[in-house]
Chain A
Amino acid sequence: MTAPTARRVEPSVEVPISVTVNGEAVEAVVPARQLLADFLREELRLTGTHVGCEQGICGACTINLDGEPVRSCIMLAAQVDGSVITTVEGLSSEGLSPLQQAFKDNHGLQCGFCTPGFLMTLSTVDPEDYPGEEGIREAISGNLCRCTGYGGILQAVRTVWNRPKDA
C-alpha cells in the first residue's frame, strides 16, 4: 500500500499588510483567506474582539476601522492594508472610558461576550445620527445580547449620550 500523495487543498497566497492597531504600527504577512477577526485574535492576540457567529449577524466582533464600525468576522485581514483599527483593548489607555464606566454602573453586561461589540459600535457612531430614545435602540440594533435584555445597555447609553429616558 502506498501512502497517499500529500495534497494542499487551497493554495494559500500570502499578502503583506501594514496596519495601525490601537495606535501601534503592525507589519504582517497574512494568508489571503485569513479573517480579520482571526488575525486580530490569533496573530495579534487581541482576544477582546469576540467571534459570535462568523456571518456578520451578532455584532460581537465589531471594531473601529478607519472611523467606521465594521464586523471583523466578515472582512479579510488582507483588506485592511493601510487602515487604522481600534479594538476594545484600545478604547482607553488608563482605567475605563466614560462609556465603559457607564456600562459598569448600569449593569450593562452580564457574560460580557457581546460587550466589546457594543462598546466598539457605540464608541464609533455619531450620536447625532441617532436622535432620541429610538435612536439609541437603532444604534445598537446590529449588536445582539442574550443576557441583559438590553435594559442596562440602553441605560448606559442614555447616560453617556446625556439623553434622559423621558426627555
Chain B
Amino acid sequence: MPDTFELGGRPVYTGAHVTRRQDDALLSGQGTYVADLRPSGMAEVAVVRSPVAHGRITAIRTAEAAAVDGVIEVITAADLTDVAPYPNFAAYTQTPGTFPLAQDKVRYAGSPVAVVLAENRYIAEDAAELVEVDYDELPAVTSLEAALEPDSPRLFEDWSNNRLLDLQPDDSEVAAILASNRVLRRRYKMGRHTAMPMETRAALAEVHNGRLHLWCTNQHAHIARTTLSYVLPLAERDIRVVIPYVGGGFGLKQHLYPEDVLVSWLALRHGRPVRFVEDRAEHMIAAAHARDHMIDIEAAIADDGRILAMRVQVVQDLGSAEIFPGAWCPALTTAAHMTGPYDIRDCVVSVAAVTTNKTPGGSYRGFGVPEAVFALERFIDEIADEVGVDRLDLRRSMLLQPADLPYTTASGALLDSGSFAESFERVVELGEHAYRQADAQYRSDPDSRVGVGYAVLFEGVSPTHHGASAHWMGHESCTIEVQPDGGVRVASGVTDQGQGTTTFVATLTADALGVEIETVRVELADSDATPYGLGAFGSRQAVIGGGAILLAAAEVRGKVKKIAAHMLEAPTDDLVIEAGRVHVAGSPAPAVTMAEIATTAVIRTIDLPPGMEPGLEATARYEPELMEHTPDTKGRINANAAYANAAHAAVIRVDLGTGEIEILDYILAHDCGTVINPPIVDGQIWGGIAQGLGGTLYEDLCFNDLGQPQTAFMDYLVPSAIEMPDPVIEHFESPSPNTPLGMKGVGEGGTVGPAAAIGNALAQALAEFSPQIHETPLSPAVVRAMIP
C-alpha cells in the first residue's frame, strides 16, 4: 500500500463515535426526499401496468383517458420513437432488449404499458383506469424449474431457450474426484423476497436551460446519468442527476427503472416538471425482487466428512429480466462463495440464470451470498449427520486458519486476512452457552423444542461493477477543496441511502487533512457537483470511496505543508497539521491556520512559494489494484477489493403446535477490518440481521400458476420490533493489507448468515423428526409440516 493511504496524523474522528450528519434534519421532518419536492408547475404520472403475466399486446386504447379533465397526455411505447432500449454489454448473456414501456409483449404482471401524465396523481390514477389494453394471453413460466424445461414457453422469442445466462465450465477434474469417492448430493432453494425500503421509488424530472435535471432515488448519480444518455436522445452533458435524501436502498435502488426514463422523457417533451412516486402496491410488483435461487451440490466426502471436491449448479430465477443493470450477477456471486472460508481446493460451479413471467429480479443486500451460505452451511450439517461426526468439528477440520492466509479460493477470491476460525470459536462459545440456558428453560415444555445452529462465512465486499453491468469497473472518486476561509468542501461519487456515507466522508476527510470535522462540508450524489464515481453497491463505499478521499487529501495535505513551510520558514517534514493549524511538531506556536494557507493559495497568490501553482484542491480516483473485472479461462476471478468475514449463531425455540420459530438468541461475530464509526457499523449489522431474519422466516413473494403475484404488503411480513431479537455482536478487526486503512465493507454481513444459522438450528431442534430443511422461507406453515 502506498503511504498516501495513511491518515495525515493522529486520528481524531476515525474509530470514534462521530455523530451522524443528517440526524437533526431527519428528526425534525426537514429531510427532503424526492417525493417531498414539488416545483411549481409540476405534473404527475400514473403508470398503467399489465394485469397479465405473459401476453401479446394487441391493442391499446388511450383516447378516453386522454380526455379526462386534467390529463395532459397518455403515452405508450409507440410514442417513444426517440428512445433506445437499455443497452446490454454482457456478451455472455442473451439480450432482453428492455424498453421503458412494453412494446409488443408483456412478460410480468406489473410491466409498464402506458403512462398517464396529469395535473396530479389523483387525476392520473383515475385516467389510468380508463386505458384499455387488449392482451392475447400466453402460457406463463412461473418457476425456475419450468424455465429450465426444453419445451418451456419462451419469454423472448428470438432466444433459443429461457436461459439468459448459461455458463458450464469444464468439470472433468472434479468429476474424476467425485467418481472415486463417496458422494453426497443435496438441493437447496432460497425463496423470493425483496429489499422493501420504507421509501418507495420516486423520480422528478425538470428541464433547466435545456438540460434535464432528474431527482431520483437511484444509488448512483453518474451511472444513472450515463444510462439516461444511452436511452434518451440527450447528450450526457445535458443531464444532471441529483439524489436527495433516500429512504433506504439496499440494492433495490441500484437499477435505473423505466419510470426514471419516462418522467425524464415527459419533462423534456412538455417542458414542465414531472414527478413519479411509486405507491406500495406498485412497489410489490414493479420494483426489483431478489433471491429465488436453486443450488445443487454434489460433493466428494472423506471418511471424516471433509469435503474433497464439489460440483455445484446454481440457477437463479430472474423473473422477466427486463431491468438495468441486469440481475444475473447474484448467481455469479453465489458461485464465487460456494466454498465458504474452508479449504476446499476443488470446486466447480455452473451457473444458469433463467427468465420467468415474474417481476424482474435485481439487487438486494447480500447479493448471492446468503444463497451460497445457506446451501453450504446446511450441507455441512447434513454431511455431519450422514457421516456421524460433530458438525462443529467438521467445520474446524476445514476452516482456514491464520497460517493459511493469504488464501486464494477455488473461485479465485483472494482472502488476504480474516478471523475465520477465531470468530467461529467465539460464536460457538457464546452459542453453546445460550443453547444450554434455553434447553434448561424449555426442556420440560412438551410443546417446545430448542436448537442452536451456526454459520461461518466470508463475504466479498467492494466488488467490481463489471459482473452486473459488463461495463463499469470499480473505481471511486473524490475532490477536496480548501476554500479561502479554511473551510473544506469534499465531493465524492459515493451516495447515502441512510447508511451514514456522508458521515464517514466527513470523518476521513477531517482526519486526513487534520482539520476540525465541523469545517468540512460534504457534497454527494449530484452529478454536476461531484467527480464521476460509481456510488453505492456491494459494501464498497468506505473502502473505495475512502481510498479516493485519502488520495485526494494526501495531495492537498502535501501542498498545505509546502505553503506553510514557506510561511513559517520551517522544513516541510517537520510540520504537522492539527485542528486546522500547521506548526512544527512539538511546538504549537508559531502556527499558520488553514484559512491563512488557503487565502495564500487562491487569493494572495503572490505569497506562494516561487513557482507554485495557485489553488488548494485535488481530485483523486482510487481503483483497487487487485480487483479483477473478468474471469480467467478457468472462470476464476478476484472480483472484490476485500473480503469480510462473520460467524453467526441462532438459538431458536420451535412451537410444536404452530410451527413458529422464535429467535431466543442471535450471536454474530463480525470482521470488517478497520472500523471508522462503531455505532454505524453496529447499526449496519443489526439492520442486516433484521433483513436476513425477515427473508428466512416471514417474507415471501408468491406467484400462482398464471404468474399472478399473490403477496400484498399486508402479507409481506417485514420484521417488527416484536420479532427482532437483541443480537449479541462481537467485533474482530483483521485489517486487510491491501485496502486503504485496512478497511473492509460492512453493509451486508448481517444479512448473509441468518438463513443458514436458523436452518441449522431448526434441524437440531426437530432432529427427532428428521426434518428436510432445504428451502427458505421457514414460515410456520412450512415448519409445522415437518412435525408429525
Contacts and interface: CB of A to CB of B under 8 A. Distances in A.
Partners in one complex: yes
Interface of A: 3-10, 31, 33-34, 41-42, 45-55, 57-58, 60, 87-89, 91-92, 96, 100, 103-104, 107, 109-116, 119, 136-138, 140-154
Contact of B27 (A50, A57, A112): A112
Given A9-B68, A111-B199, A137-B721, A103 B687 contact: no
Given A104-B23, A149-B724, 13 more contacts: A8-B69, A48-B28, A54-B281, A89-B28, A96-B24, A104-B27, A109-B27, A111-B199, A147-B248, A147-B498, A149-B683, A149-B685, A151-B682
A120 to B, nearest CB: 10
Contacts of B769: none
Interface in B15-42: 19-20, 22-33, 35-36, 38
A146 B28 contact: no
A146 B248 contact: yes
Nearest to A165: B726
Q: Tell me whether chain A's interface is mostly helix, strand or loop, or mixed.
A: loop
Given A109-B27, A146-B687, A51 B714 contact: no
A103 B27 contact: yes
B715 to A, nearest CB: 10
5 contacts: A50-B247, A110-B248, A112-B498, A149-B685, A149-B690
A49 to B, nearest CB: 7
A144 B29 contact: no
B197 interface: yes
A119 B27 contact: yes
A149 to B, nearest CB: 3
B720 interface: yes
Interface stretch (B122-130, B343-351, B485-493, B735-743): B122-130
Contacts of A54: 279-281
Contacts of B785: none
Given A49-B29, A112-B498, A107 B680 contact: yes
B29 A52 contact: no
Contacts of B66: 4
Given A112-B31, A140-B721, A154-B721, A107 B683 contact: yes
Interface string B174-202: 00000000000000000000011111100
A145 B246 CA distance: 14
A144 B198 CA distance: 8
A7 B64 contact: yes
A137 to B, nearest CB: 4
B679 interface: yes
A51 B35 contact: yes
Nearest to B716: A57
Contacts of B196: 146
B248 A113 contact: yes
Interface string B462-479: 000000000000000000
B682 A107 contact: yes
A128 B679 CA distance: 30
Interface of B: 19-20, 22-33, 35-36, 38, 63-64, 66-69, 120, 122, 126-127, 129-130, 195-200, 245-248, 250, 279-281, 497-500, 679-680, 682-683, 685-691, 713-714, 718, 720-722, 724, 726-727, 750
Contacts of A89: 28-30
A4 to B, nearest CB: 4
Given A7-B68, A9-B127, A113 B38 contact: no
B198 A60 contact: yes
A114 B27 contact: no
Lowest 8 A-B CB distances belong to which pairs?
A48-B29, A111-B498, A113-B247, A112-B26, A149-B686, A149-B690, A47-B36, A88-B29
A148 B750 CA distance: 11
Contacts of A119: 27
Contacts of A148: 683, 686-687, 690
A116 B679 contact: no
Contacts of B35: 41, 47, 50-51
B503 to A, nearest CB: 11
B686 A144 contact: no
Contact of A104 (B24, B718, B721): B24
Contact of B126 (A9, A51, A141, A145): A9
A50 to B, nearest CB: 7
Contacts of A48: 28-31
Nearest to A33: B122
A142 B29 CA distance: 19
B767 to A, nearest CB: 30
Nearest to B38: A42
Contacts of A5: 67
Contacts of A113: 33, 197-199, 247-248, 498
A115 B26 contact: yes
Contacts of B130: 9
Contact of B713 (A57, A96, A115): A57
B126 A10 contact: yes
Contact of B69 (A6, A51, A92, A96): A6
A93 B26 CA distance: 15
A47 B244 CA distance: 14
Contacts of B246: 111
Contacts of B67: 3-7
Contacts of A47: 29, 32-33, 35-36
Residue with the greatest number of chain A CB neighbours at <10 A, chosen from B63, B67, B687: B687
B229 to A, nearest CB: 28
A53 B280 contact: yes
A34 B245 CA distance: 26
B687 A112 contact: no
B27 A87 contact: no
Residue with the greatest number of chain B CB neighbours at <10 A, chosen from A53, A146, A150: A146
Nearest to A88: B29
B689 A149 contact: yes
A112 B68 contact: no
A69 to B, nearest CB: 15
A90 to B, nearest CB: 9
Contacts of A149: 683, 685-690, 724, 727, 750
Contacts of B27: 88, 96, 100, 103-104, 109, 112, 115, 119
Contacts of B126: 9-10
Nearest to B726: A151
A54 B199 CA distance: 12
Contacts of B497: 111
B15 to A, nearest CB: 16
Nearest to A53: B280
A114 B199 CA distance: 8
A141 B659 CA distance: 22
A88 B195 CA distance: 26
A141 B28 contact: no
Contacts of B69: 6-8
A7 B688 CA distance: 50
A39 B225 CA distance: 33
Contact of B33 (A50, A138, A144, A152): A50
B64 A4 contact: yes
Contacts of B499: 110-111, 147
B690 A45 contact: no
A151 B33 CA distance: 24
A6 B28 contact: no
Contacts of A146: 195-198, 248, 250, 687, 690-691, 718
